[in-house]
């Protein structure tokens, strides 16, 4: 060992090859820590599997909520309608029975749309058919000829109109 000092690092590591010192250092690290490389590969594979297998379904997937077009709900005399607040664009789906009143729809619609502040009275909200906002609805679902949601189904507008 002429010309080399004891305890120096170049006594332990092999000398760089013509391919470069960086390649040699990376090769030496991989040789010294094979478990680290295996762990990184396993983590990458797990991330890929979670991203592909557990990803949420895209819009339009064949899985629809059970309420939509539910035959059991129709047999029970309940139908699905949409209630919309057009000023903010909020909408909700509701299951209503033929004997449910428009006042009950207003109360439930306010709650589902987040407009159920205690200082605002239910009477300050008016319910209209989406096609005709000239006359507020009164009475029951059956009296207002509401249809199950679909291409020609019922959409109601819940509009805040205090003092009217």
DSSP code per residue over 17-36: PTT-HHHHHHHHHHHH-HHH
For range 145-163, the mean pLDDT: 85
Between residues 104 and 75, the one the model is more confident about: 104
Residue 36 has pLDDT above 50, yes or no: yes
> Cα separation of 49 and 65, whole Å?
27
Residue 111 has pLDDT above 50, yes or no: yes
Query: How high is the pLDDT of residue 67?
Result: 46
Q: Which of 39, 144, 162, 148 is nearest to 93 (CA)?
A: 148
Query: How high is the pLDDT of residue 50?
Result: 74
Query: How high is the pLDDT of residue 15?
Result: 55
Between residues 49 and 16, the one the model is more confident about: 49
């Amino acid at each position: 060992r002429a010309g080399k000092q004891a305890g120096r690092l170049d006594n332990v590591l092999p000398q760089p090859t013509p391919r470069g010192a960086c390649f040699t250092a990376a090769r030496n690290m991989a040789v010294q820590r094979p478990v680290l490389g295996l762990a990184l590969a396993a983590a990458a594979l797990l991330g890929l599997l979670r991203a592909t297998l557990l990803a949420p379904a895209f819009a339009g997937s064949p899985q629809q909520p059970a309420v939509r077009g539910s035959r059991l709900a129709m047999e029970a005399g309940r139908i699905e309608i949409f209630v919309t607040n057009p000023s903010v664009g909020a909408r909700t789906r509701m299951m209503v029975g033929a004997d449910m009143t428009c006042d009950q729809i207003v109360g439930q619609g306010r709650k589902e749309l987040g407009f159920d502040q205690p200082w605002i009275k239910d009477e300050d909200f008016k319910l209209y058919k989406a096609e005709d906002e000239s006359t507020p609805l009164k009475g029951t679902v059956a009296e207002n000829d509401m249809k199950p949601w679909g291409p020609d189904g019922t959409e109601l507008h819940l509009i805040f109109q205090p003092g009217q």
